[in-house]
Amino acid sequence: METLPVEVYSSETNAAILRFPGRQFPGVLIQGDTLSTLFALSRRILHHTAENDTEEAQAYAEELAQTLAMLLKHYEHVLEQQKMPLPYVSPFKNGSG
């Protein structure tokens, strides 16, 4: 195990925004249970797609997209508050998010 000083921009549960030494941009710390939930959703989408159950796959895909959008919006909001640029073009700025 290694102990490092990190910059903490947000300590919100399940969406902490941290920057490690030497990194230009912060990242999102996703708790293990949340990561497991995201993985399970992706597996359900794959299963229902393989079974041609597009209605069920669509519902799980929407849930996955909404969860990821929530994390991404929080990330963008925190970086905006810190007056930091995004390391990508926001999908929410053109109204598609």
Q: Which two tokens stand for residue 36?
A: 């497991």
Q: Across the strands, what pairs with 17?
A: 10, 28
pLDDT tens across the length of the chain (97 residues) = 999 999 999 998 888 999 999 999 999 999 999 999 999 999 999 999 999 999 999 999 999 999 999 999 999 999 999 999 999 999 998 665 5
- The type of residue at 28 is V
Prediction pTM value: 0.87
In a domain, 28, yes or no: yes
In a domain, 44, yes or no: yes
Domain count, the chain: 1
In a domain, 33, yes or no: yes
Q: Across the strands, what pairs with 46?
A: none
In a domain, 56, yes or no: yes
Q: Which domain holds residue 70?
A: 7-81
Cα separation, 3 vs 21, whole angstroms: 11
In a domain, 90, yes or no: no
In a domain, 88, yes or no: no
Cα separation, 61 vs 88, whole angstroms: 23
Question: Which are the contacts of 10, defined by CB distance < 8 A and separation ≥ 6?
Answer: 16, 17, 74, 78
In a domain, 69, yes or no: yes
